[in-house]
Structure formats: structure tokens, C-alpha cells
Amino acid sequence: MVTIKDVAREAKVSVATVSRVLNGSGPVSDDTRHRIREIAARMRYVPHSGARSLITSKTETLGVLLPDLYGEFFSEVIRGMDDTAQRNGFHLLISRAYADRHGIETAIRAMRGRVDGVVAMSPDLDADALLNLPSTIPVVLLCSVSRGNEVDSLTIQNCRGAKEMVSDLVARGHARIAIIKGSPRNYDAAERLRGYRLALREAGITLDPSLERDGDFTEAAGYSATLELLALRGRPTAIFAANDSMAIGALSALRESGVHVPEGMAVAGFDDIPLARYMDPPLSSVHVPICQLGARAVEMLLHGITNKNDHARRRERVSTKLVIRRSTGGQPEERPPPKTLNGEMASV
């Protein structure tokens, strides 16, 4: 592997001069500058970023700690992060970590010296307390509660989004509205449930525990919870699923049971994944700008890295938007855009 020394030897100058040329720092004569550039290119010299970051104490890399989640959410959040990171000259070191104390600690330790900061997503309700480790590097918490922590945090406007959706169902004449809940200890799930209850209370509707079914964010959970709801004596007229995957499972169950949507049962989801509009009927959902979520998290982290002395703690939430489609009685949408939306390439 060719190092800066090799280049220096070849050019008959000191390593300092080579370094100056390559970094554009300090004065160098045009003559040597060109010579060194040419030689470095010819020798295919690439600076060793590890060595560089040792002395500059900057890695230009951000750590990303994610729980074991999958699907659109994962991709989109990473896309948003990577875009913003790259625009600022940073790389992403991604690690799927267990959400428990040991897992997160280990992961953060392992990242010492490789990253300038960490975005940690640990939707597990308890994760908060765990993060009390006096992390020596800037951290941004994503989709987690952050009570006692002195860390920045970014969350989704879960409660408000859920409340708006349920209120809309109420406005459309529904009184018996069921919810399929998300994973038990999940923060987003808890907040969406809170929004659901809030909306019902505000509408003067008494909460019915039998209409709150357990779920875990998978299609399968939505499917079976829906079958249970259909078997209930006081069958609901609308189902609000805490995410789109479960809503899709619900649609599938209703279809097999011969229940028409939205006439026999209205169905709404949360997230508004791209597929939602292609469902039958197109699925109403609460739109979450996932990509922006990732982008904003990285922005906050970069800010924390640049202004390390600024200890003001930031708490932000990205706002959601109600998207009403046919599954809750909305009008048929205009046709989907005929061609690719933004020139991006899809997955195979």
C-alpha cells in the first residue's frame, strides 16, 4: 500500500510538502504542486483516513444504531440520513443493536474512535434510562422518550397524527372504532394509542377495552387481530391500525371474510408507505416523512458535533399529515403519477 512517504520519496520532497499539496494548506510553489499531484495520481496514492483521523481527531463518520426493524421504514430513514451525511462529507457506520442496556452500551463502545457522533434509535420504552451513560460523544435519540437525558431527541408527532385520524373517523359517523396496537413497549406505539384515546374522549365516546387489540406491527398481527374483532359481539365499524403493515393485514382478513371496505368496515393505517395507495381499496393513513426524519436527525447530530460547547438540549418532532383515501370513505384519488416520480431507481 502506497503511503505519503512513498510519494514524498518519489518526488524528492518531505512528507510535509506532500501533505500541504494534498490538503491545499500552506504555501507551495506551483512547480512542486503540479509535480506532486501528478506523482500522487500516477502512484494511485490514497490517504489513509484512519491515520488522518487519529491526529485530527475527526473521523467524518456518524454512527447509526438501529433496532431490528425492517421494511420501508428502515430504508427510508437510512436514505435520509445518508443523503444529509454525504452532503456534509460524512459517512455512515450502521449497526443493528439490541435495544437493551448491554446491547446499546456495547455498540457505543465499539464505535469509540470510529465516529464523531451517534444517532440512536431505541423505541423500547425503557431505553431512556439506559442511555444515561455519560456518552462522551454527541448523541441524537430517535423515536425514543428522553426524559432525564441530556441528549437531543427527535420524534414523530405520533399522538397528534393518530388523534387526527381517529377524529376524522368520528366525523365520518363512526362511533365504535377499534385500534390494533403496536408492539407493547414501543414508544411510537404508546403515543399512537394515546392519540386514539384522546380523540375518542374528546368526542365523548367511552373507551371500550375490547376494541383495543394487541399487535406487533406485522401484517400477520393485523390479520389475526381483525379476525378477533369480527368475532366480537359489538363489532366495530372502523379499524385504526397503528401502522400500515397491520392495516394491510386487516384488509386481507376483511376481504377473506367477505366484509366490504369501507362500507362494512373502514380501515386506516399509520406511516403512509408508498404501497398504501395501491391497496384495494387505497389505504387511508397518517403520512410520516420518514426520509426527512433521518435527514433531520443527522442535521441535529452535525450541529451537536460542530458546536460541542453548546449544551442546550434540543427536542424536536416531525409533523405528520392526514391522507384520506377510499378505505375510510375518501374520494378516489387522481391517477398515480404515470412515470417515475423523481428519477430514483427502485429496488429490484
* Residue numbers 303-332 binding its own copies by CB under 8 A: none
Considering the complex, state which of residue 111 and residue 295 has its C-beta at the smaller distance from its own copies.
111
The stretch among 23-31, 239-247, 308-316, 323-331 that binds its own copies (CB under 8 A) is: 239-247
Cα 35 to Cα 13, 47, 149, 165: the distances in Å are 11, 17, 53, 66
- Residues forming beta bridges with residue 248, ordered by sequence position: none
Considering the complex, state which of residue 30 and residue 263 has its C-beta at the smaller distance from its own copies.
263
CB of 3 to DNA, least distance (A): 3
d(CA 300, CA 302): 5
Of 87, 112, 260, 321, which lies in the binding site for its own copies, with binding defined by CB under 8 A? Answer: 112
Q: DSSP letter string over 157-216?
A: -HHHHHHHHHHHHHHTT--SEEEE---TTBHHHHHHHHHHHHHHHHTTPPP-GGGEE---
Backbone angle region of 275, left / alpha / beta, with phi > 0 → left and psi within -120 to 50 → alpha: alpha
d(CA 279, CA 99): 33
CB of 206 to its own copies, least distance (A): 28
How many Cβ atoms are within 10 Å of 18's Cβ, its own excluded?
A: 27
Q: State the binding partner of 16 from its own copies, DNA, none, CB within 5 to 8 A by kind.
A: DNA
347 binds its own copies (CB under 8 A): yes
Q: Rule CB under 8 A: which of 138-167 touch its own copies?
A: 143, 156
The stretch among 11-19, 29-37, 103-111, 169-177 that binds its own copies (CB under 8 A) is: 103-111
Q: Rule CB under 8 A: which of 119-138 touch its own copies?
A: 123, 134, 136
Binding residues with its own copies: total (CB under 8 A)? 84
Q: State the binding partner of 32 from DNA, its own copies, none, CB within 5 to 8 A by kind.
A: DNA
- Contact flags string 63-82 toward its own copies, x per CB under 8 A: ----xxxxxxxxxx-xx--x
d(CA 330, CA 172): 10
Q: Which residues contact DNA (rule: CB under 7 A)?
A: 1, 3-5, 12-17, 19-20, 22-23, 25-32, 45-48, 51-52, 54-57, 113
Considering the complex, state which of residue 55 and residue 231 has its C-beta at the smaller distance from DNA.
55
Q: Rule CB under 8 A: which of 281-300 touch its own copies?
A: none
CB of 340 to DNA, least distance (A): 41
Give me 14's grid cell: 518531505
**Per residue in 290-317, is it b (16+ CB within 10 Å) or e — as a string?**
bbbbbbbbbbbbbebbeeeeeeeeeeeb
Q: Which residues, in sequence order, are CB contacts of 323 under 8 Å at separation 6+?
A: 272, 276, 284, 285, 286, 287
Of 102, 255, 308, 314, which lies in the binding site for its own copies, with binding defined by CB under 8 A? Answer: 255
How many Cβ atoms are within 10 Å of 140's Cβ, its own excluded?
A: 26
CB of 4 to DNA, least distance (A): 3
Cα 114 to Cα 63, 90, 168, 236: the distances in Å are 8, 12, 48, 53
Q: Rule CB under 8 A: which of 23-62 touch its own copies?
A: 44, 46-54, 59, 61
- Contact flags string 182-221 toward its own copies, x per CB under 8 A: xx--x-xx--------------------------xxxxxx
